[in-house]
């Protein structure tokens, strides 16, 4: 019986929400550093933006968008669980939030290429 909870969709939604939160927290200082570079050293920032056009960087940006969407939809899922009465349809919310997150990443990827 031990470990069966790890096969449940809600457990994986919990893991994705935590991992995406940690990844976004690690990204945020880098983002602020780039903004600071734009303000203080525009020439260096121009070099950075040229580097950011690389396909691998675009792929990493897409992953970041998926993580952001996963964290957002996971948080909304948690709010629904917390404040709404439990219903069987809430089990489907995990699949819906995953779909929305992946759709956000695909939409971004289609718009940057």
Domains located in the chain, CATH noted: 4-112 (1.20.1300.10)
What's the pLDDT at 85? 80
Q: How many Cβ atoms are within 10 Å of 76's Cβ, its own excluded? A: 14
Mean pLDDT by 10 residues, the chain (113 residues): 69 89 93 92 90 91 91 87 76 82 87 71
- Give the residue carrying structure tokens 């976004």: 24
User: What is d(CA 17, CA 76) in angstroms, rounded to the nearest whole number?
Assistant: 11
Half-sphere exposure of 41 (CA within 13 A, CB side): 9
Distance CA(67)–CA(73), nearest Å, equals: 10
pLDDT of residue 1: 47
């Amino acid at each position: 019986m031990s470990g069966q909870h790890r096969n449940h969709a809600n457990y994986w939604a919990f893991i994705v929400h935590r991992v995406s939160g940690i990844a976004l927290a690690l990204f945020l200082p880098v983002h602020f550093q780039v903004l600071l570079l734009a303000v203080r050293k525009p020439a260096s920032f121009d070099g950075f933006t040229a580097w950011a056009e690389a396909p691998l960087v675009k792929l990493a940006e897409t992953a970041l968008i998926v993580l952001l969407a996963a964290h957002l939809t996971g948080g909304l899922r948690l709010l629904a669980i917390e404040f709404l009465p439990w219903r069987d349809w809430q089990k489907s919310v995990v699949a819906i939030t995953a779909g929305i997150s992946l759709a956000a990443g695909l939409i971004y990827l289609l718009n940057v290429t």
